[in-house]
Amino acid sequence: MQQFDVVIIGASAAGVTAALTARRHYPEKSILVLRKEKQVPIPCGIPYAFGVVGTPEKNLIPADDLLTKNTITTSIGEVVTVDRIKREVELAGGERYGYQRLVIATGSHPVVPPIPGNDKKNIFAIQKDVPYMQSIIDALLVAKNLCIVGCGFIGVEIAEECKRRRPDLNVTIVEMLTHCLQLVYDEDFCTQAEASLKEQGISLLLDKKVRSFEGNGQVEKVSLADGDVIDADMVILGIGARPNNELAVKAGLESGPTNGIQVNRYLQTSDSSIFACGDCAEKVSFFDGKPSSLKLASIATMEARVAGANLFSVSRTTMGVIGVYSTVLGERAYAAAGLTASQAVEKGFDVVVGESESVNRHPGCMPGAKPLKVKLLFERASQIIIGGQVTGAKSGGELINTISACIHQRMTADAIATFQTGTHPALTASPIAYQLVNAAEVAIGAMKKEMKH
């Protein structure tokens, strides 16, 4: 049996990042990364394997190169047992490895709802597995009617990419909520996204629930709860993910309210020598400390940088998950960070909103000029920012990261309105019309106006 200082289970976003972080913080330690897949997809790039990227093989994390360059040992094999007493892991092939510190980064499984007929052929969930992804593409190439269940990020991005690859394909999205992307954006942003999807010939069935999948062996139709029936010789399920916690449960580690591996703010599990990060780990909201089911690659890598740094000496903490999202539909970016207005009200916040829209270049005739709208959400009493949304020019995909930093640092509307920005005619809006600071100013104006009344 080989002995390592650090053993990491999983080599997706969290596992690779935890290994690289551990190497930077503990250059003298021996590190082993174990994974069961030969090829590991880039999580956020999965929808694009259906369209612009072309194949799953072009959407891979270069794990071997990254880890080898940093003198990190890798091995392929499925871990089946964690022996916490002996501090060793055992693989399906019988190999055993000892550890001083263990990091579990086993990710998540796609949710497959208990809908009658969900075992029929040509019904797919989005698994992070290259051969499986290729089987979806193979089915896509001959399908006539594709039904996507779920109108979140996975659903809308896959719909757009499938339509791009197969313009003749009939694509329908079924969503039980009132709007697409409703869990991330306010209604005005959602309706814009819906309009973009419809312009591309994608049908949206909102406020609809799937009752069953029909067909003789292979799916042929999707029956809805209201009695409507959709022709569908292919179905893709995009309704979320659940933590892959089976190995941790088998090892006797505690689970949390959302069935993730329970961790403290240092990412330690109920066993102080074992850490967990990424989709498999339990999370709490940055805003109220309550359990959160958010699962994003950006959260996974943040947690991995905390866990990897804390393995032998605690130096970092996680303050909870904010949730930062971005996508492109048509030629328009949609991005969000933190709470939406409805989510904030549900959590008991008294909120005020500030909005600003302007062209993202100056003057507006500069090449690449596009409208860009920023919407900021503040808690009224403290004036601290708790959410933000951006839509329009693709530069919004980076601006949302600035908004996330503002949220993380609990900046006030005044602080955002007066912080110093760098602007350039070919890169940003005018300093006079800079959307981020102006949205904060609008919110301040609204608060002052209400105080007078």
Going along the chain from its start, the domains and CATH numbers come out as 2-109+242-310 (3.50.50.60), 112-239 (3.50.50.60), 324-446 (3.30.390.30)
What pLDDT sits at residue 317? 97
Task: Reply yes or no on whether the pLDDT at 241 is more than 90.
Answer: yes
Q: DSSP string of 166-213? A: -TTSEEEEEESSSSTTTTTS-HHHHHHHHHHHHHTT-EEEES--EEEE
The residue type of 21 is: T
The residue type of 167 is: P
Task: Reply yes or no on whether the pLDDT at 15 is more than 70.
Answer: yes
Please state, rounded to an integer, the average pLDDT across all residues of the chain.
96
Check residue 217 and report its DSSP letter. Answer: S
What pLDDT sits at residue 173? 98
| pLDDT tens digits for range 25-56 | 999 999 999 999 899 999 899 999 999 998 99
Residues 6+ away with beta carbon under 8 Å from 304: 13, 14, 15, 16, 17, 18, 21, 105, 277, 278
pLDDT category at 453 given cuts 50, 70, 90 is low
| pLDDT tens digits for range 371-414 | 999 999 999 999 999 999 999 999 999 999 999 999 999 999 99
CA 193-325-160 angle, 5° bins: 40
- Sort strands 274-276 and 96-104 into parallel, antiparallel or unpaired: parallel
pLDDT category at 452 given cuts 50, 70, 90 is low
